[in-house]
Amino acid sequence: MQRLHTQEETMPHFTSEGYDIAYESYGEGPLILAIHGFASNGQVNWLNTGWVETLTDAGYRVVTIDNRGHGASEKIYDTAAYPSDEMAKDAINLIDHLDAGPAALLGYSMGARISAFACLRSEGQVACAIFGGLGSTMITGLPGSTEIAEAMRAATLDDVKHPRGRQFRLFAEHTGSDLEALANCMESSRQRITEEDVAKIDVPVLVAVGELDEEGGDPMVLARHIPQGHGFVIPKRDHMRATGDKRFKEAVHEFLGNHYPAQNRA
């Protein structure tokens, strides 16, 4: 596997919509832009779970982006910066910056919502997309944003009593995240995407959600609203444990083979 930047080197950055955005690039071949979930970053979501190795071994170039407020990207303390349709601009701008489109998008949880809005914004930059960890709740909406934001702002983990908030606070501390930036992100990033807008996505999409994932909802429901949508249930996995699942990777490999084969695009 060819890695374009070693772990010891500074990650490359570019300016998107006035914000400093970090990314990392691995391998060679047609581009897959991997967009992580809330409180995560490119390394935790995609490198540590084996996704980068799986996809580069299959002949793809994988670029992981650190979303606004996350990882090595700029920390912003303004909720106006974090609606998912705003963060989607960074994904499209990065593809343009790399001059490597059209690309496949691989998003998980918040990254799946960002990917959906990126599909709607695409002017030829997106070839296909995978929405992981977010199915029917993308269109019905997700409760609990206030509790999670409050958990980010709590003085200590011991002060967080809400179970979902505590789970996200634990994860945020594990990833070394900026808690105030995450609180601002949570307050505006969970915007619902309408059924009418989902129906306008004109590229193939795989929707994959864990069987036990109450956060993500039903992948088949969302897939039915997308003209070229395909649904997949990741067996026996919840929201947190589905990310690096082997069967999820197998489903993505099959989907990419049908809609974005490496051998025909390198």
- Distance CA(37)–CA(149), nearest Å, equals 15
115-145 pLDDT, tens per residue? Answer: 999 999 999 999 999 999 999 999 999 888 9
pLDDT band at 4 (very low <50, low <70, confident <90, very high): very low
pLDDT band at 10 (very low <50, low <70, confident <90, very high): confident
Distance of alpha carbon 39 from the chain centroid: 11
pLDDT value at residue 7: 43
- Across the beta sheet with 126-132, the strand order is 13-16, 19-26, 61-65, 31-35, 103-108, 126-132, 205-210, 229-234
- Asked if the model's pLDDT at residue 33 lies above 60, the reply is yes
- Distance CA(78)–CA(88), nearest Å, equals 17
- The percentage of residues in the chain with a pLDDT greater than 70, rounded to a whole number, is 95
* Inter-residue contact 91 to 102 (CB < 8 Å): no
Q: What is the 3-state secondary structure (H, E, C) of 100-153?
A: CCCEEEEEECHHHHHHHHHHHHCCCCEEEEEEECCCCHHHHCCCCHHHHHHHHH
Kindly report the number of other CB atoms within 10 A of residue 137's CB atom: 22
183-217 pLDDT, tens per residue? Answer: 999 999 998 899 999 999 999 999 999 999 999 99
- Asked if the model's pLDDT at residue 6 lies above 70, the reply is no
Nearest Cα neighbor of 120 from 16, 203, 225, 190 is: 203
Work out the average pLDDT over 29-58: 97
Work out the average pLDDT over 64-92: 97
Q: In angstroms, what CA-CA distances link 70 with 20, 41, 111, 121, 203?
A: 11, 6, 12, 22, 28
Higher model confidence: residue 8 or residue 68? 68
170-179 pLDDT, tens per residue? Answer: 999 999 999 9
pLDDT value at residue 264: 52
- Distance CA(22)–CA(16), nearest Å, equals 10
Work out the average pLDDT over 104-122: 97
Domains and CATH numbers, the chain: 13-138+193-264 (3.40.50.1820)
Work out the average pLDDT over 30-45: 97
Work out the average pLDDT over 156-179: 94
pTM of the model: 0.94
